[in-house]
Structures are given as structure tokens and as C-alpha cells.
Structure 1
Amino acid sequence: MTGWTADHIPDQRGRVAVVTGANSGLGLVTATELARRGAHVVLAVRDTAAGGEAARRIGGDVEVRELDLASLASVRAFAAGLAADHPVIDLLVNNAGVVLLGPRRTSADGFELQLGTNMLGHFALTGLLLDNLAAAREARVVNLSSITHKTAHLDFDDLMFERNYRATAAYGRSKLATTVFGVELDRRLRAAGSPVVSALAHPGITRTNLTPRAWEHRGRLGRVVAWLGLLATQPVERGALPQLRAATEPGVPGGRFFGPAGLWETRGRVAEARLSREAADPAVGRRLWAAAEELTGVSYP
């Protein structure tokens, strides 16, 4: 299989890169490749012990910092410490995510857990670090979408899915919200004349640790279903390529969306991916942005 690979990543020396959820899966691969190319990589992780183990595996110029995206207090504390220590941030990869298949759960702030973690936590984090990103010469923000965003819908009358909750639908909604955020961020950065670029990526269907964890509560049958599903997916090293390309390819324009090119965008070489109609709708973007500012208390400069 030909196409863009990690070998295409240019020299990252002198750049500060922040990767959320960097201790495993797609985040670990992304952080490893950025460090391999010389970046100073901040592993933003909920479990610092796991982050420390990841740092030892990665080697290179890395540091571990605690970040729980399901807590706005944690997001604010992380952003304040990072901004003070790194006045210039070149890259923010909003990679971390949670997927549930069980009963409805909420974040520390009362948000539906998947929306609160996958989108609202990253919305707040990006806004709090935007001045540091704007201080860089060619800064970039990459949001991690999913092919599940294509069949999802944002119900602004029940954004937290308090009625008729279905975990898989809530996950798709969280990834649609993340995608809308990335696209709307691009619109607003362009309108403001900001040097920061907002790009997006999705990994297709990739073998990570999220699916097995989501099925654990369903016992032996759940674990069998999860691992059978993983057999049909692509390896995490390939799944991370779209976000690595979005993060590092020189000259990527704002709003560019990368994903696998083969089998309904589930696997294969990296190419430009397609947004759903709702994800690309400016009216949806404006409405979600207003909701996110109100919910998180974070207004962008």
C-alpha cells in the first residue's frame, strides 16, 4: 500500500507539541512519531503513571502532565500551568476520547460523559491555549473526528442526551460535535486573520483500547464481540497517519480533513476525507459554538 507515511513527517525540532490522551492508542503513536522527529512533546494524560510509562517507551524530549478532559477544573489547571511554562505552543492534537456502550454517565461538570470529554473538554482547552498557539509561527490545532459523525445528529434541545439515551448514538453525537468544532474553529480563525490553522482527521476503524474497554461490563460475550471486531480493523500505527499528516504536512490549509481512502473510509492510504452535511453547515457551527461557550465558560480571544 503506497501513500503518505510517517516517514514524510518533516523535522519537528524546536516545536512544542501537545497531544491529549498520549499514553496509549492513537495518541501514543502520534506522540512517538512527533518525538522521533525532534519535537518537545507534552503528554497530556489523565493517568500520570501510565503517562510516565509511555514517556519511557517514547524516549526523546517528552514531558508528562495531568489532564482530565471530563473536568473543566482540570482543564483550566492544565492550561494555566502549560501556558506559563510554554509561552509558544506550535501544535495541539486533540486526540483523547472516551467511548461507552453502557448506561449514561456524566462528567464532573454534569455533561454527558462522551460529549463532555471528546468535545467540550477540548473546546475549553483549545480556547485557553489559543494565545500561546497564536504566538507560534505556524501553529496548528488538530481535532480527531470519526466516521460515526456522518450518521449522527445534534439535538440542541437535548444536547446531553437525557432522553432516550443510547450510548452508541451519544458517541456519534460527540464526534459530530468535535467535527463541527474543528470546522467552525477554522472559520473563526480565518475571519480573525489568525495565523493558527485548524485541521481535522479521523482514523477509520482502528485497533485501539477503547472498544474492548467499552465492552468490559458486558462480560465474556462482550469481550468476545469486541475482540472479533478488532480483528477486522487496521493497526493503530496506520490509524494515526491521518492525524499525523494533518498535524505536520507543510502548507495544510485550514479546514482540511484527512482520513483513510479505502472501504468507505474505514482503512487504507491517507487522503482527504468527506464531511457530513451537518458538520459543514455554518449555522450548526455557530449554534454549537454558542452552546459550548455557555457550557464551558470559555470564550475565545
Structure 2
Amino acid sequence: MSKAKHLLGKIVIVTGANAGLGFETTKYMAAKGAEVIMGCRDLSKAEQAKKEILKVNPKAKLKLIKLDLAHLDSVRRFAEEFKANYKYLDILVNNAGLMMPPYGTTKDGFELQFGINYLGHFLLTGLLLEQLTNSTIDARVISLSSLAHQWGDIYFDDLQFEKKYDKQKAYGQSKLACLMFAYELDRRLKNKDYSIKSIAVHPGVSRTNLFRHLNGIMKILIPFVYPFTQSAKRGAQSELKAIEDHTLSGGEFIGPSGFKQFSGKPAVVSSNSISKDKKKAKHLWEVSEKLVKIEYL
């Protein structure tokens, strides 16, 4: 089956579809004939992104549904609206994210990065599991992690960084959580004999608006790292490989294959030992279920 035919007629959700990696992924899949539901917090920005895609591809099938991952009720409303209009879902791309902002909390009281990058997507995936199981073939859940998964751990004694906020550690925790979730989700899906595949990805060091909150030493280092970075379009290739590669069986981590995984052609890459800790992943899953009030798999 060709890549184009693989996506033709597929129903796809992309969170954070109006900018960066999400925009590039949405534009590509729409060009290949998929119907893409753009889950975005700011509908005016999403409408502008939709117009940009339609300029290039007037036949693109795009639908906007408001999704604020910093508000669990918004996640639930998004899922309800989707389920009211679609009986199945072929591909869920948990793409939206936030990187190293000043300390803040979501409307439900979670540290912003943990809440938006991880918990909102954990809930969304569970709410849409039935639609994913209704897909006829090869349904996939793509979870966006980061090289930053190596920056720390899962701090169960202070998940929300209420004792002392370290935005770099908090970002690392959120992206490690996304990766551990992708691995654990795949194990649980296989244990239930579901055909859905869970695949984690990272974009290397891609030039997106995620960098807007950087300061201090991180900002000083940007000029030195810049030669090894890549565009958002190139960074999105990891997501697209995870979506289109039929040789993947689920449970893989896809990222750039170049220098230190900063940039380059997407390939199956390694992750650190903590990310593969099954006991810790099981505990994270159970804690997450309690935090967002859902149980699945």
C-alpha cells in the first residue's frame, strides 16, 4: 500500500494543529487525503492555519474543535463533540506542548507542563479508546516526547513542583511521562489483543515557538546549538514516520538519526533506562488515572 493510499479517507486528530510540528503534520496528512480534526486552544489562530492549508490545498478536509489541554473539562467536551460526529478514529497525534514557562498551574491545579504535555493527552487517549478500536485497520496513537526526557525523573513525591519549581526538570518530567505513557500504552494494548499501535516520537531540536520561554543559560546556548537544529517541517518527519511506516509494530521511539539525535532522517532511536522502567510506568499510569478521574485498559 502506498503512503498516499494509507492516509486517504483516514480520520485523524492532531492536537496543537495550528503551529509548529502540528501544523506541518496536519498539512501533510490533509494533502494525502486524510480528514484532520484540528484540536486547538485558540480557534482564531486555528482558523488562520486552516486558511493557509486551504490556500495550498483547496480540497483539504479540515475540522476545528476547541481543545484546551490545560482544562480537563475542555478535553472531555472535545471528546464528546468528536464522538458525536465520528464513529471511529484512525490516528491520534498527541502533539501539543509547552516548554519551560514560568511557574503556573492548569485550571485543575496541575503544574502547567505536566498538565498540558502529559495529563491532558492521557485523558484524551482514554476517552477516545473506543473510537480507536472501531478503526478498521492499523489505528495508531502517536505521543510526542523529547530529548528532554533525559533531564530528570518522575517526581512522585512532588509531581506538581509545589515545593520548589525547576522549569527544566518539570519539562523533562512531562516529556519522560509522555514517553513512558507511550510504552505502557503499547504494552496494555497488546495485553488486551488490540490492534492499535502506540508509538512515541521526538523531533530533535526543531525551530518552533516552544523556545519562546527560554532564558538564562539555555538562551545563551541557542546560537551554539542552532547549526544542529532543523525546521518544524523536518522535525515533523518523526511524527509522519510513526504514522506511515508499516514495519513498525508498536512500542517504538522515533527520532532524528543525526548528531546526538538533534536533526536528520527519522529512525527508531533509543531512550534512557528510566523510560523503560515498567514498574515506574505502571505506577505513573495508576496515579494519572486518579488525577484525571478515568480508568482504562
Letter of the structure 2 residue corresponding to residue 116 of structure 1: G
Change (3 A) 1:201 1:223: closer
SS of the residue corresponding to residue 132 of structure 1 reads helix
Q: What letter is aligned with 2:285?
A: W
Q: Which amino acid aligns with 1:26?
A: L
> TM-score under structure 2 normalisation?
0.93
Superposition pairs for residues 123-272 of structure 1, below 5 Å? 123-137=122-136, 138-212=138-212, 214-215=213-214, 225=220, 228=223, 231-232=226-227, 233-272=229-268
TM-score when normalising by structure 1:
0.91
How many residue pairs match? The answer is 289
Q: State the AA in 2 paired with 1:279.
A: S
Name the residue aligned to 1:50.
45
Matching residue's letter, 1:190: K
2:6–2:244 contact (8 Å) kept in structure 1:
no
Q: Partner amino acid for 1:115?
A: F
The change in CA–CA distance for 1:98 and 1:224 in structure 2 (over 3 A counts) is: closer
| 1:268-298 residue CA offsets vs partner (Å, 9 max, x unmatched) | 1111111211111110110000000000001
Correspondence for 2:93: 93
The 1:223/1:273 distance shift into structure 2, 3 A limit, reads: closer
Equivalent position to 1:20, from 15, 27, 43: 15
Secondary structure at the aligned position of 1:199 is classed as strand
* Distance change (3 Å), C-alpha of 1:105 and 1:13: same
Aligned residue identity for 1:237? K
- State percent identity of aligned pairs: 39
CA RMSD of aligned residues (A): 1.9
Q: CA deviation at 1:101?
A: 3.9
**Unaligned 5+ residue runs, structure 1?**
1-6
Letter in 1 for 2:120: G
Q: Secondary structure at the match of 1:264?
A: helix
- Ranges of 4+ aligned residues in structure 1 off by more than 2 Å: 7-11, 221-232
Report if the CA contact (8 A) 1:211-1:226 is conserved: no
The AA in structure 1 aligned to 2:110 is F
The 3 A distance-change label for structure 1 pair 57 and 229 is farther
CA separation in 2, counterparts of 1:180 and 1:11? Answer: 28
The answer to whether the 8 Å contact 1:101/1:168 transfers is: no
* Counterparts of 1:25 and 1:73, CA distance in 2: 25
**Residues in 1 aligned to 2:124 and 2:246: alpha-carbon distance in whole angstroms:** 24
The amino acid of 1:69's aligned partner reads L
For the residues of structure 1 that align with 2:36 and 2:221, how far apart are their CA atoms?
A: 31
Q: 1:11: Cα distance to partner?
A: 3.9
Q: Give the counterpart letter for 1:88 in structure 2.
A: Y
Is the contact made by 1:207 and 1:230 (CA closer than 8 Å) also made in structure 2? Answer: no
CA contact (8 A) 1:70 1:113 kept: yes
Cα distance in 2 between the residues matched to 1:71 and 1:274 = 32
Q: Which has the higher contact order (CA 8 A, sep 6+)?
A: 1
SS in structure 1 at match of 2:264: strand
- 1:251 is displaced (CA, Å) by 3.8
C-alpha contact 2:254 2:266 (8 A) present in aligned 1? yes
Q: Are positions 1:82 and 2:82 aligned together?
A: yes
Whole-Å separation in 1 of the counterparts to 2:73 and 2:224: 36
Q: Give the equivalent residue in structure 1 for 2:287.
A: 291
Kindly provide the CA deviation profile for residues 87-120 of structure 1, in whole angstroms up to 9, marking residues without a partner as x. Answer: 1100000000011242x21000000000000000
1:205 deviates by 0.3
